[in-house]
Copies of this chain bind each other. A is one copy, B any other.
């Protein structure tokens, strides 16, 4: 199996961890950013830089034993689970600076697959050792726990939104968040590049690919966006107004 081989290669590809994070677009979001000298050094020893993963490569699999959490340096990954009836269902996307694998804490195994969507570098952080270090660094401890708390809150938010809002609003909100992330990273372009396939996005938004497609064309005819290419959209209007008030199309 070509795919399996590729995954194997990806898994075995380890990079010297002392390369000083030169692939990292997310240094300031790193758990170890700005720690005391000694703890910071221990942290850097702990972390395993891994990559590059290519689109489709598996970082870990559902029911693999849980050992590490992963910090995204560059690229983009998706987390998905396989439901009883065999359909895959995307439960999250992770961008540079995000921590993936937190949902494995408290279980013996990961509850999702983690799969790269494009060329991706990540930091593997062994969980047990991280906990040890947290015990010796209140700063690291509180930072880590806060990240988990923010994740919980984020889930709650997303959930609340996803529930009652119509398809178009869900898509708009997703694009808006992606665009906001770009802005925070210094971009000024109205272009939004979708790192994931449309079907992944549809699954994430709990839409069928057909519905997503229809929504995007409708948004184009309504002048909200312009489909520049398969993976790139250009925002034509600020979406904030639409999203601030829920569905009021006054």
Task: Give A146's nearest chain B residue, CB to CB.
Answer: B106
Closest to A81 in B: B160
CB distance from A149 to the nearest CB of B (A): 3
Q: Specify which chain B residues have a CB less than 8 angstroms from the CB of A245 in the assembled complex.
A: 84-85
A204 to chain B: closest residue by CB: B163
Which of A15-23, A48-56, A130-138, A226-234 is the interface stretch? A130-138
A151 within 8 A of B: yes
Q: How far is the CB of A203 from chain B (nearest CB, A)?
A: 9
**What is the 8 Å Cβ interface bit string for chain A, positions 96-139, against chain B (1 contact, 0 not)?**
00000011111100011000000000000000000110110010
Within A164-208, the residues touching B (CB, 8 Å) are 164, 206
Residues of B within 8 A of A158 (CB): 159
Number of interface residues, chain A, beta carbon within 8 A: 45
| Contact between chains at A157 and B206 (CB < 8 Å) | no
Residues of chain B within 8 A of A106, CB atoms compared: 146-150, 153
- Chain B residues with Cβ below 8 Å from A236 are none
B153 touches A159 (CB 8 A): no
Q: How far is the CB of A174 from chain B (nearest CB, A)?
A: 14
Chain B residue nearest in CB terms to A132:
B138
**Contact between B156 and A155 (Cβ–Cβ < 8 Å)?**
yes
Asked, given contacts A141-B134, A206-B163, whether A155 binds B153 with beta carbons under 8 Å apart, the answer is: no
Complex Cα gap A141–B134 (Å): 9
Closest chain B residue to A147, Cβ basis: B106
Tell whether A152 is near chain B: CB-to-CB under 8 Å. Answer: yes
Q: Return chain B residues, CB-CB under 8 Å to A83.
A: 160, 246
Chain B minimum-CB-distance residue to A138: B135
Nearest chain-B residue to A101 (Cβ)?
A: B149
Say if the beta carbon of A89 comes within 8 Å of chain B. yes
B102 contacts A152, CB within 8 Å? Answer: yes
How many angstroms from the CA of A54 to the CA of B239 in the assembled complex?
Answer: 42
A159-B159 contact, Cβ under 8 Å, with A84-B245, A107-B153: yes
CB pair A103–B152 under 8 Å, yes or no, is yes
17 contacts between A and B (CB under 8 A): A84-B244, A85-B246, A89-B164, A91-B159, A102-B149, A105-B152, A106-B147, A106-B150, A112-B156, A135-B141, A141-B141, A148-B148, A152-B152, A152-B155, A155-B155, A158-B159, A159-B162
